[in-house]
Amino acid sequence: MTAHPRPVALVTGASAGIGAAFARELAARGHDLVLTARRAARLQELAEELCAKHNVDVQIMVDDLTDPMAPRRLVDALEQRNLGIDVLINNAGYGVPGTFDSQPWVRHSDFLQVLVHAPTELAHRLLPGMIERRHGRIVNVASLAGHLPGSTGHTLYAASKAYMIRFSESLALESRARGIHVCAVCPGFTYSEFHDVTGARELVSKMPKWMWMQADQVAAQGLDAVERGDVVYVNGRINRMIKTFAKLLPDRLALRLSARHSSRYRVMEGE
């Protein structure tokens, strides 16, 4: 691929929330962008905003990461457009409400495809180009939940985020000497559409305001962290304290506390 005048970033789940915030922050830092999500109108609106405001090139690729072929399609389309990706933001994600048995397997399978398989495959397919150029950045948007005990409800969410944290750690160790930084960014409660999609908005609105962060804060901190070479970054002082406290507790007590408080932020019944 020919050299591009500006670094190019691919952001998944870019139509809203943390993904859109990453796109805005990257554009402000002088990156050209490739944005992907399912909602074409949202992507087009964001692309026009960023082009006008920051004079960067923004291309959109509408696709659905629940399709196992989507990562390959995206990378093939990048190659056809002669675009080498310097920054990969694996952000796409959502939650499946209810207990494990309350949802059909196809819904869990789609969830794992989006939150585990797709980001892993995109990293694998885009890594060779970064290695060739001796420079690259991969941000895997994980969660504070990946550092905490499992909860009742949303059964696979914390497990998928814990995977992304450990995957990021190993990939970072393998890639650092090649000029590639990998970071798992772990926000806690963040103002976005996430809780509307899962049906938990009414529940989480009762959480104290000091536990919440803005999506633009999460994105800016995440990009700063990967540039510094941080391998795992937990956004926010309160969230870092929660992570530390959870690790100090005996497993039995930590699980007991999780069971007691899960209903405050997890939807227990399936839709």
Cα–Cα distance, 53 to 119 (Å, whole number): 29
CB-based contacts of 61, cutoff 8 Å, min separation 6:
34, 35, 36, 74, 77
The residue with tokens 């007991």 is 256
**Catalytic residue at 157?**
yes
Residues counted in the chain: 271
Task: Point out the catalytic residue in the list 94, 157, 191, 233.
Answer: 157
Name beta bridge partners: 137: 87, 181
CB-based contacts of 132, cutoff 8 Å, min separation 6:
none
Cα–Cα distance, 144 to 138 (Å, whole number): 18
Q: Which of 71, 218, 244, 9 is nearest to 148 (CA)?
A: 244
Cα–Cα distance, 228 to 150 (Å, whole number): 30
Catalytic (active-site) positions: 157
